[in-house]
C-alpha cells in the first residue's frame, strides 16, 4: 500500500510518501517538505501566531494534493513539541482541521521517543542488543534505551535546537556568556533524567537520529547524503568538541557554508551541537551511529503492525 506520513515538527513540516507492507521495509516514494520553523512563531504568551497557522494550513492543503496525485491511500498526520506545548495548540489543530479536513494527532514526548526507538530497532535488528537512542528535534531531546522493540525507558527533555537557540543564543554569533549558560543548562537537564537510563546498564549500541545529528556528523567528516542513506555515518565526541568553538564563532551566514548545513537550520546548529555534546559526555559516549530511520518510519511501522493484530 502507499501511505503518507505528515509530520508537523518544530522546524520542518514534512510529508513522506512510502510504499509499505507488513514484514517489509518502507520504501520512500516522495518527499514534500518546508522549513516552517513553528517554534520561531511563538508569541510572548506561548501562542503560535496567526501567520504561522496560515502557512501551516496552506502546506497541509498542498500535501493533500501531492498525496492524491501520488495515489496515497491513507495519510497519518501528527504534530510534536511546537504544537504540543503551545498555549493555543488545540485551537491550531482545530483551525487546520477546519481548513483542510486533516486531524493532527499530537504525540507526547514519550510517544515520540518510543516510535523513534521502534524505527531504530527495526533498522539495526536484534543483534544490536541494548540500544541507547538520542534524538534532537526543534523543540525537544528524546532519549530511550532498551533491548526490545519497546524501550524500557523513554523520556523527553525540553532541549530542542530551535527552542534553545531562540531562548538562549540571542546574538549572532552568540556571546561567550550565552554559550556557557546554554551549555550548563543542557547538562543539568540531561543529568536529571540520566539515572533512569544508566541504571539499566551499558548499551551495546548508541544511535542518534534527526537532521541535527546528520548535520553534525557531516560537519565532522561523515559521507554526504549523495552517497545514499545506507552508508555508515558516525559522530565522534572528540571531533564534535573540536568543532563547537569554531561554530560558536561563526555567524549564521557563515555556518550555512558548512557541509550539510542548510540556510534554514544554520542558526540552530550550535545549540544542537551543545546538546549533543552534553548527552555524549553525561552518558560517556565516544562515538554514536546516525540512523537514517526516525519518527516518521516508526509511525509507519506501528501502523503496519496494527494491520495484522
- Residue 64: pLDDT band (50, 70, 90) is very high
* Secondary structure class of 145 (helix, strand, coil): strand
User: Taking residues 52-79, what's their average pLDDT?
Assistant: 97
pLDDT tens sequence across 116-128: 999 999 999 999 9
Task: Tally Cβ neighbours within 10 Å of residue 206.
Answer: 23
Where does 2-106 sit in CATH, by number? Answer: 3.30.420.40
Task: Look up residue 36 and give its three cell numbers.
Answer: 516552517
For the chain, the structural domain boundaries read 2-106, 109-295
pLDDT for 309 equals 45
pLDDT tens sequence across 15-42: 999 998 888 889 999 999 999 989 888 8
Check: CB of residue 153 under 8 Å from CB of residue 142: no
pLDDT tens sequence across 207-237: 999 999 999 999 999 999 999 989 999 999 9
User: Taking residues 91-101, what's their average pLDDT?
Assistant: 97
CB-facing half-sphere around the CA of 250: CA atoms within 13 A: 19
2-106 and 109-295 have identical folds: yes
User: Taking residues 147-162, what's their average pLDDT?
Assistant: 96
Predicted structure pTM score: 0.95
Q: Are strands 287-290 and 234-236 parallel, antiparallel or unpaired?
A: antiparallel
- For residue 182, whether the previous peptide bond is cis, meaning omega lies within 30 degrees of 0, is no
Name the CATH superfamily housing domain 109-295.
Exopolyphosphatase. Domain 2 (3.30.420.150)
What value, to the nearest 5°, has the Cα angle with vertex 31 and ends 18 and 148?
50
pLDDT tens sequence across 253-309: 999 999 999 998 999 999 999 999 999 999 999 999 999 999 999 999 999 988 654
Amino acid at each position: 500500500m502507499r501511505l503518507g506520513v505528515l509530520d508537523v515538527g518544530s522546524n520542518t513540516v514534512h510529508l513522506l510518501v512510502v510504499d509499505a507492507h507488513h514484514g517489509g521495509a518502507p520504501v520512500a516514494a516522495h518527499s514534500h517538505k518546508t522549513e516552517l520553523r513553528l517554534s520561531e512563531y511563538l508569541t510572548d504568551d506561548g501562542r503560535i501566531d496567526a501567520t504561522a497557522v496560515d502557512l501551516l494550513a496552506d502546506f497541509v492543503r498542498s500535501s493533500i494534493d501531492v498525496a492524491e496525485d501520488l495515489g496515497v491511500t491513507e495519510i497519518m498526520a501528527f504534530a510534536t513539541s511546537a504544537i504540543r506545548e503551545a498555549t493555543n495548540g488545540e485551537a491550531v489543530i482545530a483551525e487546520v482541521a477546519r481548513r483542510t479536513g486533516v486531524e493532527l494527532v499530537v504525540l507526547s514526548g514519550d510517544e515520540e521517543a518510543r516510535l523513534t526507538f521502534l524505527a531504530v530497532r527495526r533498522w539495526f535488528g536484534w543483534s544490536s542488543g541494548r540500544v541507547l537512542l538520542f534524538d534532537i528535534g526543534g523543540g525537544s531531546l528524546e532519549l530511550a534505551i532498551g533491548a526490545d522493540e519497546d524501550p524500557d525507558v523513554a523520556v523527553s527533555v525540553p532541549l530542542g535546537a530551535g527552542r534553545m537557540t531562540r531562548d538562549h543564543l540571542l546574538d549572532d554569533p552568540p556571546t561567550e556568556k550565552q554559550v556557557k549558560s546554554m551549555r550548563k543548562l543542557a547538562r543539568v537537564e540531561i543529568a536529571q533524567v540520566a539515572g533512569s537510563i544508566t541504571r539499566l546498564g551499558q548499551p551495546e549500541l548508541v544511535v542518534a537520529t534527526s537532521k541535527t545529528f546528520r548535520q553534525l556528523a557531516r560537519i565532522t567528516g561523515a559521507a554526504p547524503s549523495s552517497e545514499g542513506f545506507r552508508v555508515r555515518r558516525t559522530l565522534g565526541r572528540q571531533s564534535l568538541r573540536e568543532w563547537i568553538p569554531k561554530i560558536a564563532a561563526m555567524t549564521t551566514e557563515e555556518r550555512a557554508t558548512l557541509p550539510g548545513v542548510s540556510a534554514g537550520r544554520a542558526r540552530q546548529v550550535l545549540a544542537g551541537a551543545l546538546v549533543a555534546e552534553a548527552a555524549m559526555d553525561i552518558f560517556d559516549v565516544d562515538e554514536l551511529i546516525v540512523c537514517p530511520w526516525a519518527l516518521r518510519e516508526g509511525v509507519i511501522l506501528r501502523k503496519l503492525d496494527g494491520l495484522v493484530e
